[in-house]
Amino acid sequence: MKPPQDPGELRRLNGLLEAALALPPAQREAWLRGLPESDHDLLPLLRQLLERAGTDAGDDFLRQPLVLDGPGGLDEASLAPDAPGDRIGPYRLLRELGHGGMATVWLAERTDGSLNRQEALKLPHPGWAASLAQRMARERDILASLEHPRIARLYDAGVTAEGRPWLAMEFVDGTPIDVHCRDHGLSIEARLRLFLQVAEAVSHAHGRLVVHRDLKPSNILVTAAGEVRLLDFGVAKLLGDDGPTQAQITRLMGRAVTPDYASPEQVGARPVGVATDVYSLGVVLYELLAGVRPYRLPRDTPAALEEAVLAADVPPASSRVTDRRIARALRGDLDTLLAKAMRKEPGERYRSVEAFAADVERHLAGEPVLARPYSLAQRLRKAMARHRLPLAAGAAVAVALIAGTALATWQAREAQRERDQARALLARNEAINEFFTLLFGEAVAPQQADAVKALLDRGWHMVGPAFGAVPENEAAILRILAEYYNDPERSEAMLARAAEITRGSADRALRAQIDCDRGQLLESLGRTEEAVQMLERWIADPRTPDLAVVHCLQMRGAIAANRTEAAVALRSSQAALERLRAAGQAGGDMEADLLGDIAFALHASGRSGEAEAWFERSQQRYRALNRQDSLHARVMLSNWGVVELATGDVQRALARYDELLDSHRRLMAWRDPPSWVLGNRALALERTSRWDDALAAYADTLRVSETARHPQGSRYAWVGEASVRVSTGRLDEAEAALRRAAALPGADEAGHPAVVRAEWVRARLMLKRGHAAQAHEALGRQLEFLRSIGANPSYVGMALRTRAEAALAVGRPAAAADDAREALAIAQRLQGGKPHSDNTGLAWLALGEAEAALGRAAGSRAALQQAGEHLEAAAGPLNADARRARVLLRGQATN
């Protein structure tokens, strides 16, 4: 089905789709049939889309929000179930203590004997490891920020060699609070006092901006000494934290949280805050006092559940107990107090757990509680409206009283959160960053560039005054702005400022990312030493968070690749991959990218033969993630083609680029294919001697590169055209094309493939014009340069082959044979395990001609024989050099 081609068609489609989707599915077909003739062209498309609407099965397009560093694949190594005696990190599992939706808690002991105590070890369920690592890390951070005698403390955390995260916590030898109350036959008063201990712990967490979100009896244990311990902050949320995965975690939680104790806003997936814990504590207290839960819930669908929680009528606790004495004790204050804690509207509950606890204490002390039955509260509000002034003064006193409490912290944070929400999201969300980088970077049309620059300049001056209060936010925004600028010096200055204002920050991930981005910019500004030092400091620092290290290693690899330090590029990508796996973050796009980076770095290190297997694994990974059509996957495929071109497998490379081009045309009919696909495909065509096709492909490359203002792309295209013209004897046209190439900016990037190729074609042109000595000399200089920068051996081989031709032309057949033999050795090494290579064929051809000139007919014949075979098999029967080899061979046979 053809995608919509223009906005008009899309507008019509959108309108019709909107109307159709508003109808019940059963009526849609009849409605479609009644459409006017003028819309009939869209009918097939509409039917197809409507069929897809509402069907979740097998259609996950865009369903999951973009998460840049949250891989979700299964970790195969951890699929086997855990058993007592198993070792996890420095622990041995003793027995299972319990398990929840996503993790199991084990009683465990340290195997190194360093501490003689039993601990509770939390492990994600086998198979969940990869996707849970991030959440476990959050739990670890949250627990580490809480230190309270009534909260089970965090001892240690880590990741196993297989990438499975674990948390070691205080083992609490106790019973769930409801069981404890029942078994000990506690009085109402004793139950209330126990509850106050719980409230104290929850209040401490709120003061640290942590909402528990899963308060229930099984997470509240009481020890034999009657001490309460609060457990399991596994689904806890940091207030005001709008980090990239927050929404996703919340969604996950929608299913993971025990619904019986969940608040209406939680079940309805609306924003949660301290009021959620107030609600759950209300349910817990209700159960402790009445002996039953306030309501029974259906378990079928989330929607039914939400409805039930919202509709559930909570009968007074006193009405649920049979013991008259208890009923009497609950009636009045305690009923009212529970009702206030469990109001449907978060705003109508106790404003804090402390306020809730204070009312419980008042009741215990025999004082009147502050909670009032609902109707009275409504009457009070009306009175307030009538006597606004005097009551407002009273409210001010109340605010003063609660200052310094958890509530005050929360309110202050909440106010700031609301103010900054939009920008805080921008600052923290890498995915948004990627999108806007595109918008302000690559998507800017040339004629808009100045306006965008002015806009960015204004932004840069606004950041400090607007966000300076939270240096991390200011820095995160600067980091994004820096990426928008197409001006390395400017960007570097921004990142330097970002680094300065976060110098003392505890957010090491942010600091590392800033410095590592900065490193890449410094390198492009020629300050390589500084750049490398900066990156390596973060990489070496054991306190740098894992994913930040991976990022820094990738940057280190990129710098090395730019500087053709292939070995360092390879080491860095390999180390990044290892680190990613050790952090339990393998299985995602990032791993696929790194596998591809390693493949290309292997090629750049002259180990092209090994690259194949890594590319294959990278592609497998993309396919497993259903990302095989993503940009990165296609870049990697194109790089694979580059490696095949270097190893001499021209036909295979050509097929690969044809496929890339096809898939591009299939996916994005409305825009040009990228220049790197076009340019590499043109080269493959040239090497099969399909001259006209190659010229057309180079022309396409030129057009697209010019539109994108990509001078090296344009140079590549002009040089390609010149190369074809030299091969076909159109020397004047070749010279003109080379002149066009030389006029483009960037000619000083001597190691760039387009520049290297230009030098080579120029030498070939000299040779064809009869200036063989000059060509020989130029190629000598080029070879010296290529070797000095450690350029890819395929370039060296190319230059050697041509110098052999030049040597022959100046009457030095022995030198020609030497060069040809060296080119042959290089080509054969690159060819690796593959049966044929056009480069090998070309080197044989040069050797065959040199041998003939040296009068060694047998050696020459053998070489030419080889040349013909290789060229024909690798570059196809049309290849001009294959024909030349056959002609020379026949000539020798007749001699």
Which of 214, 333, 359, 838 is flagged as catalytic? 214
Of 67 and 539, CB closest to another protein: 67
DSSP conformation class of 258? -
| Cα 147 to Cα 205, 229, 335, 696, 800, distances in angstroms | 9, 12, 33, 70, 70
The least CB distance from residue 749 to another protein, in Å, is 9
**Residue 211 within binding range of another protein, rule CB under 8 A:** no
**Residue 554 within binding range of another protein, rule CB under 8 A:** yes
By CB under 8 A, name the one of 10, 376, 540, 857 that touches another protein.
Answer: 10
d(CA 95, CA 106): 6
3-state secondary structure of 657: helix
Site string for another protein, 25-64 (x = CB under 8 A): --------------------x---x--xxx------xxx-
Which tokens belong to 855?
Answer: 């009068």
Sign of CA dihedral 462, 468, 470, 474: positive
Strand-pair partners of 221: 176, 229
The least CB distance from residue 242 to another protein, in Å, is 9
Would strands 165-170 and 210-211 be described as parallel, antiparallel, or unpaired? unpaired
Tell me which residues in 866-895 interact with another protein (CB under 8 A): none
By CB under 8 A, name the one of 104, 429, 572, 860 that touches another protein.
Answer: 429
DSSP of 212-236, one letter per residue? -----GGGEEEETTS-EEE---TT-
Site string for another protein, 348-387 (x = CB under 8 A): ----------------------------------------
**Residue 91 within binding range of another protein, rule CB under 8 A:** no
Of 53 and 364, CB closest to another protein: 53
Nearest to 643 by CA among 675, 607, 679: 607
The least CB distance from residue 505 to another protein, in Å, is 23
Instruction: Give the count of residues interacting with another protein (CB under 8 A).
Output: 95
Of 157 and 553, CB closest to another protein: 553
Tell me which residues in 270-289 interact with another protein (CB under 8 A): 270-271
The interface region with another protein, picked from 23-31, 128-136, 262-270, 505-513 by CB under 8 A, is 262-270
Tell me which residues in 555-614 interact with another protein (CB under 8 A): 555, 558, 561-562, 593, 596-597, 600, 603
**Residue 256 within binding range of another protein, rule CB under 8 A:** no
Tell me which residues in 669-728 interact with another protein (CB under 8 A): 669-672, 674-676, 679-680, 683, 701, 704-705, 707-710, 712-713, 716
**Residue 667 within binding range of another protein, rule CB under 8 A:** yes
Q: What is the CB neighbour count within 10 angstroms for residue 83?
A: 8
**Residue 255 within binding range of another protein, rule CB under 8 A:** no
Which tokens belong to 430?
Answer: 């890498």
Contact present, 163 and 133 (Cβ < 8 Å): yes
**Residue 506 within binding range of another protein, rule CB under 8 A:** no
Through-space distance between the first and last CA atoms of the chain, rounded to whole angstroms? 62
Tell me which residues in 627-656 interact with another protein (CB under 8 A): 629, 631-632, 634-636, 638-639, 642-643, 645
By CB under 8 A, name the one of 72, 73, 101, 268 that touches another protein.
Answer: 268
Tell me which residues in 430-449 interact with another protein (CB under 8 A): 431-432, 434-435, 438-439, 442-443
By CB under 8 A, name the one of 182, 251, 387, 890 that touches another protein.
Answer: 251
The interface region with another protein, picked from 369-377, 667-675, 779-787, 869-877 by CB under 8 A, is 667-675
d(CA 887, CA 601): 39
The least CB distance from residue 305 to another protein, in Å, is 16
Nearest to 725 by CA among 783, 784, 776, 768: 768
The least CB distance from residue 152 to another protein, in Å, is 30
By CB under 8 A, name the one of 304, 399, 540, 668 that touches another protein.
Answer: 668
Does 214 participate in catalysis according to the annotation? yes
**Residue 17 within binding range of another protein, rule CB under 8 A:** yes
- For residue 166, give the amino acid letter: W
Of 104 and 544, CB closest to another protein: 544
The least CB distance from residue 646 to another protein, in Å, is 9
By CB under 8 A, name the one of 22, 455, 540, 743 that touches another protein.
Answer: 22
Kindly report each contact of residues 581-584 with a partner whose C-beta sits within 8 Å and lies 24 or more positions away, as own/partner: 581/163, 582/159, 582/161, 582/163, 582/546, 583/133, 583/159, 583/163, 583/546, 583/547, 583/550, 584/75, 584/129, 584/130, 584/133, 584/159, 584/163, 584/164, 584/165
Which tokens belong to 105?
Answer: 């808690």
The least CB distance from residue 538 to another protein, in Å, is 16
The least CB distance from residue 520 to another protein, in Å, is 8
3-state secondary structure of 544: coil
Of 287 and 593, CB closest to another protein: 593
Contact present, 308 and 298 (Cβ < 8 Å): yes
The least CB distance from residue 114 to another protein, in Å, is 40
What is the residue whose two structure tokens read 């195969």?
76
Tell me which residues in 66-85 interact with another protein (CB under 8 A): 66-67
Contact present, 170 and 117 (Cβ < 8 Å): no
Contact present, 586 and 594 (Cβ < 8 Å): no
Q: What is the dihedral of CA 641, 646, 651, 657, to 10 degrees?
A: 20
The interface region with another protein, picked from 219-227, 469-477, 668-676, 868-876 by CB under 8 A, is 668-676
User: Which helix (H) or strand (E) segment is 118 a member of?
Assistant: strand 118-124
The least CB distance from residue 590 to another protein, in Å, is 10
- For residue 294, give the amino acid letter: P
The interface region with another protein, picked from 4-12, 283-291, 765-773, 812-820 by CB under 8 A, is 4-12
Sign of CA dihedral 312, 313, 315, 321: negative
3-state secondary structure of 270: coil
Would strands 91-99 and 87-88 be described as parallel, antiparallel, or unpaired? antiparallel
Of 7 and 34, CB closest to another protein: 7
Residues in the chain: 895
The least CB distance from residue 701 to another protein, in Å, is 8
Of 175 and 782, CB closest to another protein: 782
Q: What angle do CA 750, 753, 756 make, to 5 degrees?
A: 50
Nearest to 13 by CA among 33, 32, 34: 32
**Residue 303 within binding range of another protein, rule CB under 8 A:** no
Tell me which residues in 314-343 interact with another protein (CB under 8 A): none
**Catalytic positions, please?**
214
